[in-house]
A and B are shown apart, each in its own frame.
Chain A
Amino acid sequence: MRRTAVLGTGQTQHQTRRTDVSMAGLCREAIDRALVDAGVDWPQIDAVVLGKAPDLFEGVMMPELFLADALGAAGRPLLRVHTAGSVGGATGVVATSLVRAGVHQRVLAVAFEKQSESNAMWALSIQPPFTAPIGAGAGGYFAPHVRAYIRRSNAPEHVGAMVAVKDRRNGALNPYAHLRQPEITLESVRASPMLWDPIRYDETCPSSDGACAIVIGDQAAAEASERPVAWIRATAMRTEPTYFAGKDHVNPRAGAEAAQALWQAAGITDPLAEVDVAEIYVPFSWFEPMWLENLGFTEAGHGWKLTESGETRIGGRLPVNPSGGVLCSNPIGASGMLRFAEAAKQVMGRAGEHQVAGAKTALGHAYGGGSQFFSMWVVGETPGR
């Protein structure tokens, strides 16, 4: 298989309302930074892949069409990916395949969400026929799964709050983060209002406007780069239905199988020992220990122990979300790509104040729908085998 690498990444300032820019301006803020970071210019970009979550979030049907010019796609191939919350990651995976297939040398992957253009709660509340309404947003949907996890694993109640404290403090080190809360404490999180038992206000992701862009290149493009690149050692995607008899919402098989395929393709046999940093899609604090188990970093029922021991902090055995993660910035369609980009930044040594020292191998992870769509990649300082 041909080698591929991340040549550069860019992202916007994430915040509740970016009324200073249009959708095009938001995307260009990320794209322009990615091109500069990659040291490439428009003539070198062969194709554009755009990802975002439901079009109802902005109220534009297939917005890549009106954005084509602003995305630099005019006269080029343009693909639009939509795989629910995993879409930012899936967009990176599709762009990687275009280079792996030898179709293109350099591909620009872009993901965005401008939630303030519309009302995300409304967009998510239109009921399909014959489906029971939940009417409590994503938190209401996932809270029972978190409760099930706590009951199954006997995790102490404060673990969720620990994740929130870690991620919000990490976010304070990230100049692009929407929420930056260096003063947050375990006590303040535990004193915040209960939204969907057991998920408290401070354990919940924000609603953000934001975008992310990644330039992916082939081996020749990577070797021509004057700056370090992040070699894409493996990608994986898996899907399963939302509901079916035997569905495990706590530890979904699609996520576990995607991870197994990923580690195998990357030649990794002991993920906890061989991965230096992980950017994992954690929209509600408890998903950190849940996904640590699903990804195979620990055995089932033991993820919370890694979190509780402090090993997922910067400086720990496996720093998780040193950027602050989804708990600090959540432009939904871009959130997965931000995980992929932050993983790349770590191995390129360009993560700034939230850099994990000596990071050589990193995971980027995203999921979506009812814990049913998974996309992930492993990037490294070297191409691997």
Chain B
Amino acid sequence: MNPAVAVIGFAQAPCRPSAGTTSGVETLVPLFHQALSAAHLDRREVDFWCSGSSDYLAGRAFSFVNAIDAIGAYPPICESHVEMDAAWAFYEAYVKILAGEAETALVYGFGKSSAGLLRRVLALQLDPYVTAPLWPDSVSVAALQARLAIDAGVVTEQAMAEVAARSRADATTNPYAQVSGQPTVDELVAAPYLADPLRAHDCAPVSDGAAALVLAAGERARRHRKQPAWISGVAHRVDPQGLGERDLTTVPSATAAAEAVALPADLDVAELHAPFTHQELLLRNALGLGERVRINPSGGALCGNPMFSAGLARIGAAAEQVMTGRARQAAGHATSGPALQQNLICVLEARS
């Protein structure tokens, strides 16, 4: 009864320490052009637009409103916005198409992380009555989680460094990455701690950036793209936030989302949104990904983490794998909140 839905275009801005512009519009205009060109779709053919961004990142109210100017939204458009990573805007657009309320959609996310001190800004996501007043910043919260995981024997500093080394090596072929290189694991573990047990290589860089992705239903997708990346399932879940309320070495919301989409064990590729090395290891366990699955050929968020579009970019990177024929079946994952609180998973596949 529901139409099949596919990704038919994706574009991203290069991840940079500073985008050199105060305006999301300047970043988004060329991006929309690239994503729509890839989808062979005209701007006026987009039935529904949906975006993800954050006022706190921008440091002002209604920061998404000006982004509308990048669309050229006149005559008026059907449009919505989530105050979340744009991976959840992707979900809203996907549902819109499933419901038959739109046939095509463009999803975008943007954020200028460099506008403030990101790790302090993210502390404001915590409970404002009892936790945030202590200002535990995002790196410190992640370090607490990593320490628990190490003490529980779930991860090791060596394994974390291996994740960083692999990601940076993969990112050498990704022109959008902010960080790349060929470090050895020994070199990495010799570095000093940034927030014990996290070293600099364990933490994603602070990135400005944006991403845009085009969706279409059934026949429309086939008409516009030779090999669409068909969505075989999307699900997301959230865990309670209280840092003492759950076992931080597990990710129940990721596990539940994986179960809801019946995540196959024999995926070709998984793009995981893990801003810290230990979080990739926790996610692989939570999602039940086998050794054969290729993780983050893009280099992942550890090599470029544009807030509010990094999750969407993981779905886009997974879709590119399918659209270019490099993978038959790929998964994109997004996370939000402290210590992997909220997780979304999307499975994409080629169909003949």
Kindly state the separation between the CA atoms of A68 and B96 in the bound complex, as whole angstroms.
Answer: 24
Docked complex: A35-94 residues within 8 A CB-CB of B: 53-63, 65-66, 68-69, 73-84, 90, 93-94
In the complex, what residues of B have CB within 8 A of residue A65's CB?
Answer: 125, 238, 241, 336-338, 341-342
User: Residue B63 at the A interface, CB < 8 A?
Assistant: yes
B residues near A239, Cβ cutoff 8 Å: 49, 68, 73, 76-79
Q: Which residues of B contact A61 (CB under 8 A)?
A: 54, 56, 121-122, 124-125
- Cβ A54 vs Cβ B98 within 8 A: no
Neighbouring B residues of A62 by C-beta, 8 Å: 54, 56, 83-84, 125, 336-337
A124 at the interface (CB under 8 A from B): yes
Asked if B76 and A253 sit within 8 Å, CB to CB, the answer is yes
Whether A68 pairs with B83 at a CB distance below 8 angstroms is no
- Taking a contact as CB atoms under 8 Å apart, the answer to whether B95 and A74 are in contact is no
Task: Give a binary string over A251-277; 1 marks a CB under 8 Å from any B CB, 0 the rest.
Answer: 001100110000000000000000000
Would you call A69 and B245 a contact (CB within 8 A)?
yes
Chain A residues positioned under 8 Å from B284 (CB to CB)? none
Q: Is the CB of B55 within 8 A of A56?
A: yes
Which A residues are in CB contact (< 8 Å) with B132? 60
Prevailing SS type, chain A contact patch:
loop
Contact A66 B126 (CB under 8 A): yes
Give the Cβ gap from B210 to chain A, nearest Cβ, in Å.
17
What residues on B are CB-neighbors of A84 within 8 Å? 62, 65
Within 8 A of A (CB), among B48-103: 49, 54-56, 59-66, 68-69, 73-84, 88, 91-92, 95-96, 98-101
A365 to chain B, nearest CB (A): 16
Residues of A within 8 A of B2 (CB): 101-102
One of A151-159, A240-248, A317-325 at the interface: A240-248
A244 to chain B, nearest CB (A): 6
Q: How far is the CA of A257 from the CA of B74 in the complex (A)?
A: 11
User: A68 touching B99 by the CB < 8 A rule?
Assistant: no
A80 touches B241 (CB 8 A): no
Kindly state the separation between the CA atoms of A60 and B235 in the bound complex, as whole angstroms.
Answer: 26
Is B9 part of the contact surface with A, judged by Cβ < 8 Å? no
Q: Nearest Cβ in chain A — how far from B251, in angstroms?
A: 12
Chain B residues packing against A (C-beta within 8 Å): 1-2, 22-23, 49, 54-56, 59-66, 68-69, 73-84, 88, 91-92, 95-96, 98-101, 121-122, 124-129, 131-132, 235-242, 245, 252-253, 256, 336-338, 341-342
Given contacts A81-B82, A240-B68, A240-B75, 16 further A-B contacts (CB under 8 A): A1-B100, A55-B54, A60-B132, A61-B56, A61-B124, A62-B83, A66-B241, A68-B238, A68-B241, A76-B238, A79-B88, A126-B61, A237-B78, A239-B73, A240-B73, A257-B75
